[in-house]
Every structure is written in structure tokens, then in C-alpha cells.
Amino acid sequence: MSVNTIAINQRLNRFDGHEEIWLFGYGSLIWKVDFPYLERRPARIHGWVRRFWQGSHDHRGTAEAPGRVATLIAEPNAICAGMAYRIAPAVFDHLDMREKNGYLREVVGIEFKSGETVDGLIYIAGPENEAFLGHASDAEIAAQIARSRGPSGLNRDYLTHLADALRDMGEQDAHVFAIERHLNAGLAI
């Protein structure tokens, strides 16, 4: 699969004919909301964990020195907290460009704090995409993040903004917070 997934996502017809769609954000879509939305609500999805296993060649790194950003990895009984946005389908023109580095739209069940559930979409960068970096220790991920920079800025800013947003939501994410601790310890040296 090509790293650039814009054309693939534009061919997907999930939710065609809908005037609005729920989108679940679990990474920068929590804190970098550069798109219009009709409603925003804290939410979670089941069976997925957030991992910094996706390479960023276009935003938080370069082709020669990719950064690391969040993707989702299937894990039974897991829960991933994030933010859901009710959006108009036209917003996908912008989002497909933003998430073009290996991310594909997938249908997911989204659960709100009220217990209400809806079907919506997420962007997932799976292991089959060319930008996927896969598992590494929290310390190795932090070291890569510390030295990475791309057109959207420092990779460490992505991590710290996500960690802060999760704390603001009252959510825990052991993976994100462990990487943040390693990053902060390395910067203090």
C-alpha cells in the first residue's frame, strides 16, 4: 500500500448519503481541531489501544527521519478514550489530506459517557502501510520523538499536547504517559 491514502479513502462509500457522520479522534484529532464540526463529545471505543507505532513522514518528521504518531492496534477487552465529532461529509476532503500518511477510514462503534452508542469512522494506520514502524520500547519511542521534527513542528509537541488533552479529559493512557515520562527525563539530562 502506498503511504498516501487520499485516493483510497475518497473511494470508500461508507456512510454515503448521510448528512452527518460521527468521527472518533484518538491522537491529534483530540487537540488539533482544524475542521468544522457540529458537535464534540468525549467518547471511547472498545477493542483498540492507542500506540505510537505509526511513522510520520509528512507532519512530525520527514521521509529520511520519520517521527512517531498515534495509531490504533486491536486488543481484546481494551478501551481507548478520545473525542467524537459530528461532522458533515464535506469535512473528509480536509481530513483525508491531513491523515494521508497511511491512515484509512474504518467503521467503529463509538460509545459516549451516557452509554449511548453510534456507528462512526476512525482513521487507522495498520501494519500493512509503508509508514508503519511497529513496536518499540517506550524509551526508544521517546528518543525518536525527541529528535524528530517535520513541517507541522516538533514531534514532542504532538506527544505533549496529546498527554495534556488526555489529562484534561480525566483519562489515563499508560503508553502515552510512559513515553512522556521518558521524553521529559531525557530533556532534563
Active site residue 99: yes
How many CA atoms lie within 13 Å of 162's alpha carbon, on the beta-carbon side? 27
- The answer for residues whose C-beta is within 8 angstroms of residue 113's C-beta and 6 or more apart is 41, 42, 43
Name residue 17's amino acid: G
List own/partner pairs for 177-180 with CB under 8 A and 24 or more apart: 178/138, 179/52, 179/138, 179/141, 179/142, 179/145, 180/142
| 157, 55, 103, 94: CA torsion to nearest 10 | 40
Return the number of other C-beta atoms located less than 10 Å from residue 79's C-beta: 13
The Cα–Cα gap between 110 and 6 comes to: 24
Q: Quick check: 83 and 42 in contact, CB under 8 A?
A: yes
- The SS3 call for residue 57 is coil
Among the listed residues 20, 75, 99, 116, the single catalytic one is 99
Residues annotated as catalytic are: 99
